[in-house]
Structures are given as structure tokens and as C-alpha cells.
A and B are shown apart, each in its own frame.
Chain A
């Protein structure tokens, strides 16, 4: 009997130490990745990155056209995807809260949420690029919009479900029809949550590369034509990082740093928006 206690205690000690080690490993990875990114990215960070076009191999240059392309494609994707996502989320939380359709849509939406993004790229290729016969910024924006929708649907539904029913009943009691109650009461109460969802969606798509590879393709030059291939930051990083040229690799690191800071910044803003609600 006296031998079993030290053994149990020792086992407990070992396992708990391993758990601490696991947490340390997780944090160490984050530190290593961010550290390498800062170290290599900052070295190439200068004003030329934001003012000059992507250079031909072996020359200095910047990322202006890639940054602008990413911005344009992301904005169009958000404009296309957000209304669909909010409306679908509205249906699931308001009109069809207890309907069978909602259960099915929620299940499918969760699958779309974690579906491989490269599959979405293939889908848009078949749907848009092949009939049009050429790659275009539109196609890239459509692909990213498909990725925006499930994120926004999910957060909108969750946030609308948190709005107390008493608020809706108060609206209905003074004679407001359902859609005015939704617009002026439910949306207003869930506003910060819905905005969070959109921000998370932007964070998600601004680093996406795979769906852009064969929709928006890439472009070495400045382009404002949405019907033609357009550069984007992630695809440019992909191309430059795998190249043998030192200047391109440096630009890839700097671009990677810009993307990461953007994405992490967005998710921290999103978190603080909902955090304030809880507090």
C-alpha cells in the first residue's frame, strides 16, 4: 500500500510536467515563426515596398501592384460575400430559427467553413474562368467571396441568437413588422458581433493564396482592369519565395510580414470588439 502512493504521485508529476512542456512548445513555435518573420521581414521594409512595382528578376523594387491588387480583390469579395452571409444568418436566427432548413444549412455551412480553399479555387475556375476563357480579378474575388460567406453566416447567426427575445417582443408589441424589428432592434443589438464576423472573414481571406492561384492568377505590372489577371500579395509571395533571386526572396519575406501583421491586427481588433461586450 505504501508503494502505490509515490508511484501515483510520480506519474501525476510526470504527466503534468509534460502538459507544461506541451504548452511551452506551442508558445515557442509562435515565437519562432513571428521572430523569423520580423527578423527577415524588417530587413527589407522601406518606402520603396509601398511605392514601386514588383521588379523583374535581379532588380530592386516594391510590392505596390500586389498590395493594390490584394486590396481590390479583398474589398470586392467582402462586398459580394457579406450581404449573402448576413442575410443567411438572419434567416437562420430569425425567420427559420426552428425550421429543418436551418439545421441543414448550419451543418453544410460548418463544412464549408473548413473545406479546403483550393477546392473553392477549382470550383470558381470551372464556373467563371473556363466559360470566360481567361483569368480575371473578378474570378479571384468570387473565390474569396465564397470563403467569406460561411464565416459571416456563422457569426451573424450566433450573435443574433444572443439578442434577448424580450427586445424583439417589445418591438413587435408596438406594431413593428418582423423585418423592421430585425433591422432596428436585432441588428442594432448584434452590431459589434456582426462587424467582428466581417473582420474575421477579412482576416481569413487576406492571407489566402490557394484559391487565387488559378482565378486571379498574377500580374507583373500595375493593372486596374478587373477583367484581366491581377497581382495579389499572397500569390506574389508564393512566386517570389520559390524563385532563386535574392531580391525576390527578400520581397517575399517583407510581404509575408505585412500580411501577418494585417491578419493578426484584424483578429485582435475583432477580439477586442467582442471582448468589450462580454465585459
Chain B
């Protein structure tokens, strides 16, 4: 009799515990799910808040905002063409410099470097990615820009002064700061991203493919050029796009050395501006809603450009990841 009772009691107790566990589990699952959804909400929130903030400027200037070069806080006439141009040119040059060097380092690390040195050199290159962008800025302003001004620019201006297109590309007084200096600093900042992703996708090439190429007598360079790079093309593109996304949105380093001049000049030595540098320089000083709103519109444009670039990069890297999984 008592045995049955205690058994019954144990049963109900167990039931209670199971119910409690089920409840707490549902709660925990719900909370973690909510946190995951919050990540989506944040990105959505960024988009919505930027659209709301830029509404005033965009409804006043309309589509012309994208094609106007003038940026005049006094007459409250704003156009985004100069910052957009500066952003694309600096990032483009940075990528042109960083990609060959980055791929070169990746080749060095995967094919040439003695094994014991691989890890230390790899870590050293990755440390470049860890250095905060403001450090690149202060270094660029005090060390690199004066060096460019006194050494590189006079030499280049002198060397190209008689060649038609190049002379206007490298014209003007050597300020030190300017579009090209910014692009070179961006290149250093993007380099580690290109290198580490290229290195990762190089490692996905099956050894059999490389060995068979070596087996028929290919040199290392031929194996790289004809086997490894074609096999990893999509992944390398993904890495380059990721680096481009970084370069487009990079703020502090560029703000220090670009000169913040709202104009488009043919010369790469002239000061210019980028979207992020304009926002960083002018946002706290912006008086008037239209000025602030115009700056947020610039942010919105940057957001959409980087969103598309980064999405494309991730898509490409996902494709190569899937190939690796098979």
C-alpha cells in the first residue's frame, strides 16, 4: 500500500520535473532564437534608420544628389559625387596594389616558405589586420605622408611630366596627403584580408592535382598559374571583394591623409575626400537638419555599396566552402 503511494508520488514528481524541464528548455530555446533574430533586426534597423535619416536630403535633392559635385554648407546645396568618386578611386587603387602583393604572400606561405617559418610569418601578416585603423591614420599623417611628399611625389611628377595622360594623372604640387597616399595606406590595411583568404582557398586544392602537374614536369609557377589559381578563382574573387568591402568603408586612416577636399581632380596627388571621411570630419560640426541629413544620405549610399559587395563576396566564399565539403 505505502509502496504504491510512494511510487505514485514519485511518478507525479517526475512528471513535474519533466514538465519544468520542458518549460525551461522552451524558454531557453526561445531566448536564443530571439537573439539570432536580433542579428537580422540589427541589419534591418541600420537600413531603416539610414533611410529615415536621409529622407529630408533625398526628397529635396532627389536623384541629382548622386550626380552633383558641389558640397556647400553655406548655401545648403549638397551633392555626393565627389565623395563617391573618391571612395571608388581610393578603394580601386588600393585593391590594385594589394591583390598582387597579397596573392604573392599567399603563394610564398603555401609553396615556398620553410615550414618552421610559416606560422610566425602568417601571424605577423595577420597582425597587420589587428592594428586599429586610427594607428594607420596617425602613422600615415606623420610618417608616410611626409615621405611621399619629399621622396615619391617629386620623383613621379618629374618622371611623367612629358607623357600625355600620366602627366595629368600625377600633376600638381606635392602635398603629401591626397588620393594616392590614402589608397596606398588602404592597400596595406586590405593586404592581410586578401592574403589570409587566398591562403585558405589555396589549401583547398587537392594535393593530387598539384602532384600530377609536378609529375608531368611543371615548374612551381606553372602549377600555381595553371592549376591552383584556376581551381580557386571563385574563392580568390571572394577574398578580393571582401577586401574591397573593407577598403570602401574604412574611415579613420583615410580621414587623416585624404585632405578632405570636396572636388574631383584628375590628379591622384590632389587632396580629395571619401564618403566615410566626409562623415567623420563633418558630422559633429553639421548645423542644420539638411546638412546632417545629407551626411546620413552619404552613409546610406556607402551602406548599399558595401552591402552588395560583401554579399557577393560571401556568396562566392560559400560556393568554394561547399566545394571543399564535397
Contacts and interface: CB of A to CB of B under 8 A. Distances in A.
A34 to B, nearest CB: 8
B310 interface: yes
Interface residues of B, number: 89
Interface in B1-58: 21-22, 24-25, 28-29, 31-40, 42-43, 45-46, 49-50, 52-53
Given A22-B104, A27-B121, A238 B279 contact: no
Given A37-B139, A112-B43, A264-B127, A210 B280 contact: yes
Contacts of A242: 141, 256
Contact of B46 (A119, A149, A210): A119
Interface string A148-189: 011001000000000000000000000001111010000000
Contact of A108 (B40, B102, B111, B135): B40
Given A116-B276, A177-B22, A178-B25, A105 B135 contact: no
Given A87-B31, A207-B133, A263-B131, A118 B279 contact: yes
B139 A182 contact: no
A25 B100 CA distance: 12
A16 B112 contact: yes
A106 B167 CA distance: 48
Contact of B38 (A23, A84, A96): A84
B231 interface: no
A111 to B, nearest CB: 5
A40 B53 contact: no
Contacts of A8: 219, 222
A210 B29 contact: no
Interface stretch (B150-158, B201-209, B265-273, B298-306): B298-306
Interface residues of A, number: 88
B249 A118 contact: yes
B24 A119 contact: no
A36 B147 CA distance: 13
A45 interface: no
B49 A123 contact: yes
Contacts of A260: 131-132, 135
Given A96-B36, A237-B138, A213 B43 contact: no
B36 A91 contact: yes
Contacts of A217: 284
Contacts of A127: 45, 49
Nearest to B27: A179
B299 A118 contact: yes
A267 B127 CA distance: 8
Interface in B278-326: 279-280, 283-284, 296, 299, 302-303, 306-307, 310-311, 314, 318
Interface stretch (B66-74, B77-85, B168-176, B240-248): B240-248
Contacts of A203: 130
A276 B132 CA distance: 26
B125 A117 contact: no
Interface string A91-119: 11011100001101101111110111111
A273 to B, nearest CB: 14
A110 B314 CA distance: 7
A102 to B, nearest CB: 7
Most chain B CB neighbours (cut-off 10 Å) among A19, A36, A92, A126: A19
Given A115-B249, A238-B252, A271-B123, 15 more contacts: A27-B121, A27-B125, A30-B127, A84-B35, A87-B35, A87-B36, A116-B249, A116-B276, A177-B24, A179-B28, A180-B21, A210-B252, A256-B138, A264-B130, A267-B127
25 contacts: A20-B112, A22-B105, A23-B105, A26-B124, A27-B121, A88-B36, A91-B29, A91-B33, A95-B32, A101-B33, A108-B43, A115-B46, A115-B249, A115-B307, A116-B249, A120-B46, A122-B49, A122-B296, A126-B50, A177-B25, A178-B28, A214-B283, A234-B134, A253-B138, A259-B132
Interface of B: 21-22, 24-25, 28-29, 31-40, 42-43, 45-46, 49-50, 52-53, 100-105, 107-109, 111-113, 121, 123-125, 127-128, 130-139, 141-143, 188, 191-192, 195, 219-222, 224, 242, 245-246, 248-252, 255-256, 276, 279-280, 283-284, 296, 299, 302-303, 306-307, 310-311, 314, 318
Interface of A: 8-9, 11-12, 15-16, 18-23, 25-27, 29-30, 32-33, 36-37, 40, 83-85, 87-88, 90-92, 94-96, 101-102, 104-105, 107-112, 114-120, 122-123, 125-127, 146, 149-150, 153, 177-180, 182, 203, 206-210, 213-214, 217, 234, 237-238, 241-242, 249, 252-253, 256, 259-260, 263-264, 267, 271
